[in-house]
Amino acid sequence: MPVLYTPPTADQLRAVPGVRLGTAAAKIKSWARDDVVLILADPGTVAAGVFTRNRFCAAPVIVCREHLQRQHASGAGLRALLINAGNANAGTGDPGLADARAECIAVARMLDCAPEEVLPYSTGVIMEPLPLDRIIAGLPAAHAAARADGWFAAANAIMTTDTVPKGASRQVTIDGVVVTVTGIAKGAGMIHPDMATMLSFMATDAPVDAPLLAQIVRAVADVSFNGATVDGDTSTNDSFVLAATGRAALAPLRDPADPRVALLRGAIEACAVELAQAIVRDGEGATKFISIRVDGGRDVEECKRIAFGIAHSPLVKTAFFASDPNLGRIVCAIGNTAAPDLDPAGVSFWLDDVLVVDHGGRSARYREEDGKRVMQQQEIGIRVALSRGTAAATVWTCDFSHDYVTINADYRS
């Protein structure tokens, strides 16, 4: 079990009225475990998603985008998600696309719904043909096993190189009604794209219409999953889908300015941030969790670029692994990603409460032992102030250890 993340217990993942989850063992790889998840949503459920921007995106991502678009266009809802672990169905060309469509057709037949009401997810090795027959053969068992409290089992069945299952729940009272948000996630898209996929599914029983849901899912992804990185590799399969079953006895949510939306969004964002951080904390070989905040920027993009520049530098990451306050490496990473017109004399940075660089130069108060003290912590905060605007962004990453090399060099051997 990783030192940086404590997985949820089964009873901490609360049921979402209108959603049931079942798992089955389809032997996608030669392992003895459940590796297929069928998520069933009651009629009336709407869904929205955000997906990888990788140009070699997986076949299921292409089909998910198509089906969500058709659902929104036709007013049809979401009835099921089918997830398999062990094979990404990515880099598989036209046959892979046909396989992803065939999965949806098989589920639709079983549930008596339209194929476009089904979304396929795959996660695992890239460039291997999907074992379609074994997945379809596993469907009846997954269907029979579906239950409202199946979240924990589902979180386990979607794992690949994850060491622990990841899930989060929040409840929020809106107009006197308790609304639930529960989500699960796996892997860490940017950690190991060959086991492809940052993948998350989240549901709420709040009644949210599709356009608003799409808006929420994009905004939440930007401040959660899109801020998580281990090594900067965005996988071919990254997907985050949010479903709203509408089973809570609330008047429908349609207007982004409705104050009830902020309450719901807060709960969704809290779940998503917890899951995104869980992915980093369970990052391959991670021994430290590092939170990087860049503020005072001209725009959010500038802040993100610099924060990711620090988060992706192997030199910064190995220094964290060694608990070595070799902080010139952070200065270098900032300088590498800063806009050409950024004045270094405006830049300061802190390691937790320790001011290291004060307006472009080493702080007169900085002492090596203070840096060393912070670097030895398991959780470390970096703050960079650019002093030229009001934008800010936060990203999370982990350190770079011998175990990272071992895990990634030895994975297939």
Nearest to 96 by CA among 63, 119, 66, 124: 63
Residues 181-200: x/- map of binding to a second copy (CB under 8 A)? -----------xxx-x----
Smaller CB distance to a second copy: residue 153 or 316? 316
Is residue 336 involved in binding a second copy (CB under 8 A)? Answer: yes
Q: How far is the CB of 400 from a second copy (least distance, A)?
A: 7
Question: In this chain, which of 43, 44, 252, 328 binds a second copy, going by CB under 8 A?
Answer: 328
Contact region with a second copy (CB under 8 A), list: 19-27, 135-143, 158-166, 307-315:
307-315
Smaller CB distance to a second copy: residue 260 or 298? 298
Smaller CB distance to a second copy: residue 139 or 386? 386
- Within residues 48-87, the interface with a second copy by CB under 8 A covers 53-57
What whole-number distance in Å separates Cα of residue 90 and Cα of residue 217? 24
Smaller CB distance to a second copy: residue 270 or 355? 355
Question: In this chain, which of 73, 105, 178, 405 binds a second copy, going by CB under 8 A?
Answer: 405
Is residue 91 involved in binding a second copy (CB under 8 A)? Answer: yes
197 is catalytic: yes
Is residue 227 involved in binding a second copy (CB under 8 A)? Answer: no
Is residue 342 involved in binding a second copy (CB under 8 A)? Answer: yes
Q: How far is the CB of 2 from a second copy (least distance, A)?
A: 18
Secondary structure of the chain in HEC code, one letter for each residue: CCCCCCCCCHHHCCCCCCEEEEEECCCCCCCCCCCEEEEEECCCCEEEEEECCCCCCCHHHHHHHHHHHHHHHHCCCCCEEEEEEEECCCCCHHHHHHHHHHHHHHHHHHHCCCHHHEEEEEEEECCCCCCHHHHHHHHHHHHHHCECCCHHHHHHHCCCCCCCCEEEEEEEEECCEEEEEEEEEECCCCCCHHHCCCEEEEEECCCECHHHHHHHHHHHHHCCHHHECCCCCCCCCCEEEEEECCCCCCCCECCCCCHHHHHHHHHHHHHHHHHHHHHHHCCCCCCCEEEEEEEEECCHHHHHHHHHHHHHCHHHHHHHHCCCCCCHHHHHHHHHHCCCCCCHHHCEEEECCEEEEECCEECCCCCHHHHHHHHCCCEEEEEEECCCCCEEEEEEEECCCHHHHHHHHHCCC
- Within residues 256-295, the interface with a second copy by CB under 8 A covers none
Instruction: Identify whether the C-beta of residue 72 lies closer than 8 Å to the C-beta of residue 213.
Output: no
Is residue 321 involved in binding a second copy (CB under 8 A)? Answer: yes
Contacts of 157 (CB under 8 A, 6+ apart): 23, 33, 34, 35, 36, 37, 83, 85
- Within residues 104-143, the interface with a second copy by CB under 8 A covers 125-127
Is residue 93 involved in binding a second copy (CB under 8 A)? Answer: yes
Question: In this chain, which of 344, 376, 378, 379 binds a second copy, going by CB under 8 A?
Answer: 344
Q: How far is the CB of 88 from a second copy (least distance, A)?
A: 8
Is residue 383 involved in binding a second copy (CB under 8 A)? Answer: no
Q: How far is the CB of 208 from a second copy (least distance, A)?
A: 29
Question: In this chain, which of 174, 261, 331, 395 binds a second copy, going by CB under 8 A?
Answer: 331
Smaller CB distance to a second copy: residue 216 or 327? 327
Residue from 92, 180, 182, 197 carrying the catalytic annotation: 197
Is residue 161 involved in binding a second copy (CB under 8 A)? Answer: no
Task: Return residues touching a second copy (CB under 8 A).
Answer: 53-57, 88, 90-95, 125-127, 192-194, 196, 231-236, 312-315, 318-319, 321-322, 324, 326-329, 331-336, 338-340, 342, 344, 347, 357, 360-362, 400-402, 404-406, 408-413
State the catalytic residues. 197
